[in-house]
Structure 1
Amino acid sequence: MFTGFTDETVDFMWGIRFNNERAWFEAHKETYLNHFYRPMQALGAEIYGFIRDKRPDYDLIHKVTRIYRDARRLHGRGPYKESLWFSVEEPSEQWTAKPTFWFELMPESWTYGMGYYLPKALTMAKLRARLDRDPKAMEALSRALGKQEEFRLETEAYKRPKGPAPSPLLEPWYQAKSFVICHEEKLAEDLFSRAIVDRLKRGYEFLLPYYDYFVTLDGDPDPRERECVKTR
């Protein structure tokens, strides 16, 4: 059971930022395991259980990232990450191609939410086709998002507009190449007790209807096939 992160957790994150080398990490490995990795595992397992119980029909898994960076992609950085995160998602060859719940702890702040990082272009085309076909469902979700203060929508838009959205409310979604619905703030007392568990559960429960909406997109018809029929 997760009982909270500790001052040692924060000290380790700052320590690895300024001492990103094998010798320092090995000397502090027990601190990493006991105050960072294992608490993150416990928190991830608890949140995974909560989401799985809410959506038992989904084939969900959860992962905790490794602290070791890919040696092929260091690009002048040290071999260790200074943050850890867990995710809850459906299995996929490319995890960024499906909607994902996450929580991440960093030296200065923490963040959590749900979204896509690298959805397939076809997935977003299916989103636009669904918005055209049935705008009311996402309009309701957009209004609910606008009425609360925990999460904000962040999108990366295509360089070229994808055409007019069915309504102004849907414009950010219609032009999105990728998106996240996220919350980020400075380190707070909640993180050092079980209070963060209750807060994350409330947040993820709010996000579940958005996950329900997006996780089914891959099952929608290919809008390109409809275009082919029109041009015949």
Structure 2
Amino acid sequence: MANPKILIPKSSLEFLKSLKLNNNREWFNTHKDEFIEQQNYIENFAGLLLNEMNAHDLIETQSGKKSLHRIYRDTRFSKEKIPYKTNWSGSFARATKQLRGGYYFHIEPGNSFVAGGFQEPNAEDLKRIRDDISFDATALRKILNNAAFTETFGTLKGEQLKTTPKGFDPGNAAIDLLRYKQFLLIRKFTNQQVLSQDFLKEANNSFKNMRPFFDYMSEVLTVDGDGLEG
């Protein structure tokens, strides 16, 4: 009998393993009922995670179901024409334009993680972030060096330039931070952790530990030099 306290059962990962080996429409249609059953577990997990997150942040996403990403791949512009993703995933948007950053969870055998941050900041946002870092990176470094941050995420992740961004001094003391094009926080989980009773708590705590970084970024991106909201 399955443990009712374990929100994501082993069968949810086993389904993904089978799908990876049989990534075609005929197999998927034959196993559609199984897909729906396993997706319901993920939807329930996402709903409970959303409830936990609403205790420490304002989330725009209204339900676990609405947070989930479709399992169907868009193959129109992809060289890889397999029709289905081999992971469960979902995202939560923060409410109001003043609260910047976003949350994401990804469940895949051998590659599960939760993440958040800024994957594709537009040119204007990226310039504002770099301007603030260039002026004084003390506040950001304090967040990145905080014990709760390093224990949860290790270091800031994301694509970086190999050279100095245009318009900035290569001798700037914060050149290591100025080279970032993405600003991502990622915590990985083993299969055993995903299938444990503590996964909901640990995923929520990971999102909670993103808040100082999000608060910093929100201030940089929504308040101008005169202290006015942009």
Is the TM-score greater than 0.5? yes
Counterpart-to-counterpart distance in 1, 2:6 and 2:171: 47
Instruction: Give how far 1:38 is off.
Output: 1.6
Q: Secondary structure at the match of 1:54?
A: coil
Change (3 A) 1:165 1:52: farther
SS of the residue corresponding to residue 150 of structure 2 reads coil
On the 8 A contact 1:87/1:102 being kept in 2, the answer is: yes
CA gap of 1:8–1:116, structure 2 versus 1, over 3 A, is same
When residues 55 and 149 of structure 1 are mapped into structure 2, their CA distance, relative to the original with a 3 A threshold, is closer
Contact map agreement 1:145 1:151 (CA 8 A) in 2: no
> Does the CA contact (< 8 Å) of 1:135 and 1:166 recur in 2?
no
Using the alignment, how far apart are the partners of 1:20 and 1:72 within structure 2? 17
Of 154-163 and 113-122, deviating more is 154-163
Count of residues in correspondence between the two structures: 213
More helix by share: 1
Deviation at 1:136, TM superposition (A): 2.6
Structure holding more strand per residue? 1
Shift of 1:107: 2.2
1:20 match: 23
The answer to whether the aligner puts 1:177 opposite 2:181 as a matched pair is: yes
Aligned residue in 2 for 1:48: 50
Q: TM-score, normalised by structure 1?
A: 0.79
Q: Normalized against structure 2, the TM-score is what? A: 0.80
* Unaligned 5+ runs, structure 2: 226-230
> Superposition pairs for residues 83-232 of structure 1, below 5 Å?
83-90=87-94, 99-144=101-146, 148-152=150-154, 153-162=156-165, 163-164=168-169, 168=173, 170-188=174-192, 190-221=193-224
When the two chains are superposed, the root-mean-square deviation of aligned CA atoms in Å is: 2.8
**Cα distance between partner residues in 2 of 1:74 and 1:147:** 36
Q: By how many angstroms is 1:123 displaced?
A: 0.8
The amino acid that maps onto 1:42 is N
Structure 1: gaps of 5 or more residues: 93-97, 223-232
